[in-house]
Structure 1
Amino acid sequence: MNSLILAALLLCGATVALASEHCSYEDADIVIKEWNHIFATGNSAPVLLHLSDIIANGFFDVEPTARPLFSRVNVADMQSGEFNAFMLRVLTTLTELINKLHSPEVLDSMLEHLAKQHAAMHGVKHEHFHIFRDVLGSTFNQLLDEYNPDAWKNCMFGILFGISGNLP
């Protein structure tokens, strides 16, 4: 049991080290600023719903075989309340993670929790997070006048690896 605790602590430390190694303070500032710019209108729910449509459609265009992983949230009807609520949770969580880029201890705790949740989901693969990252990048490249792909790549590496690093 002690070796399991030690392994978990090492993973947490590695996640913080990876996030801070790749995502500089300046990168984090850029990502936070650009993410918050998306919601500059002040009414974030419609913006999040529109963004979630773009991201979900982009993800399933690239990885249609992943659809069954989302059956419990009614992926068959991507305009349903269940699927919209799920996607809002995903993007709200992403907002929280992005806004914690300057707080590595808090970010690490959140990533550890999300890693456990995703590890318990049968069929979720590390590769899915690469696809999600790529879809986010192409989406932001289209939505943002000022988009810094390097800062996003650097910061999303730590976030997405923190969630998916132990997945197959």
Structure 2
Amino acid sequence: AAHPRVCFVLRSALRYTMKLFVVLLGLVAYTSACSVLDRLKVKRQWSQAFGDGNAREEFGLTLWMDIFQTAPAARGLFGRVNGNNEFSDEFQAHAQRVLSGLDMCISLLDDEGTLNAELAHLKSQHDGRDIPAENYGVFKASLGRTLAKSLGSFFAKDAWDSCFDVISGGIIG
């Protein structure tokens, strides 16, 4: 049988190792969840891809056409803004409102308190609309494809995935 002192030392070492492992795992999870560097990449790439003026309308049209091609049933969520015609003035205005909200959230990625307040506001706007959770995934995938078309090989997919999850998670709740 093992000496009691040896067993105590081994148990203590194992407990210490497990605690260290849990702390390191937490740090990995934290750093992979929209890190400071990810936030800077997303902000810079967004300003390049979203642009200004007519470029924003073009970006929005490309995004929503991809969304509706991927999930045709999603059009039904936009009946009050003429979702059957993404070229209509009503839908174009709605598309720009959505992208303006995303633009604001992206610009606030480095101001957590204000970002959380904005996400709470957006959550309150979306709560009564019965948007299926999977539609946020459709939006994320379409946004990724639209950004990749715009940014090419410079598109930082991992940064966008983790930071978009922060934004959509705040809206979904």
Please say whether Structure 1 and Structure 2 have the same fold, judged by a TM-score greater than 0.5. Answer: yes
| Offset at residue 154 of structure 1 (A) | 1.0
Listed as ranges, the matches of 1:14-163 within 5 Å are 22-39=33-50, 44-122=52-130, 124-145=131-152, 146-163=154-171
Structure 2: state its 5+ residue gaps.
Answer: 1-28
Larger Rg: 2
Runs of 4+ in 1 over 3 A off after TM superposition: 18-21
Contact 1:19 1:159 in 2 (8 A): no
Following TM superposition, by how much is the alpha carbon of 1:20 offset from its aligned partner in structure 2, in angstroms? Answer: 7.9
Q: CA offsets, 1:49-73, max 9 Å, x none?
A: 1111111111111111111110100
Q: Distance in 2 between matches of 1:48 and 1:20?
A: 31
Tell me if structure 1 keeps the 8 A contact 2:105–2:115.
yes
More helix by share: 2
- 8 A contact 1:58–1:135 mirrored in 2: yes
Quote the sequence identity (%).
31
Superposed CA RMSD: 1.7
Equivalences, count: 144
Q: Residue 22 of structure 1: CA displacement?
A: 0.8
| TM-score when normalising by structure 2 | 0.78
Give the TM-score, by structure 1 length: 0.80
Q: Secondary structure at the match of 1:54?
A: helix
Asked if 1 retains the 8 angstrom alpha-carbon contact of 2:45 and 2:155, the reply is yes
By relative contact order (CA 8 Å, sep 6+), the higher-ranking structure is 1
